[in-house]
Amino acid sequence: MFKATPNPPNTGPVPNDASFNLDPEKLKASAERALKHYLTPGATKTQIPPRKSGTFFTIDAAVDDETLLVDASESLASARELVNDLVELSDGPRRYSMLVLQRVIMLSELSVNRVLDNHKPG
């Protein structure tokens, strides 16, 4: 059978190829540094700073508990209605997730309303 292309010429390694000029001592030192960095349990790593609470939204200390509970109850009722509207628009697994969210909001609203019912001003 006739071969259309000739065999490539036999040449040595490429003169500027870095893999032929690697120093084994440098390779070993580099590997040890990498292993030490990733496998040493006591290695110092950058710590994530603790989250500070923001002061963008604050509640005045003079606001009484009943007012805060009424506001929380109204917010939960609004959220429940919003999720109820979204449940009507969705189907499948997303609908089930929205129904679970609606139930959590409803239970929270019931809890806040019970605290309001039991609250004695003064």
> 11-63: per-residue pLDDT in tens?
666 656 555 667 888 889 988 888 887 787 665 556 777 777 777 777 788 88
Q: Is residue 78 part of a domain?
A: yes
Within a domain: 46: no
- Is residue 104 in a domain? yes
pLDDT in tens, 84-122: 999 988 888 889 999 999 999 999 999 998 988 888 776
Beta-strand runs (E) in 1-122: none
Number of domains in the chain: 1
pLDDT of residue 60: 81
> Cα–Cα distance between 83 and 87 in angstroms, integer?
6
Has residue 35 been placed in a domain?
Answer: no
Q: How far apart are the C-alpha atoms of 61 and 57, rounded to whole Å?
A: 13
| 79 within 8 A of 105, measured Cβ to Cβ | yes
Residue 54's pLDDT is what? 73
Residue 58 lies in a domain: no
Residue 14: what pLDDT?
Answer: 60
CA 45, CA 40: separation in Å to the nearest integer? 11
- Determine the structural domain holding residue 92 and report its residue range: 65-118
Q: Please check whether residue 34 lies inside any domain of the structure.
A: no
Q: Does residue 41 sit within a domain?
A: no
**Residue 111 covered by a domain:** yes
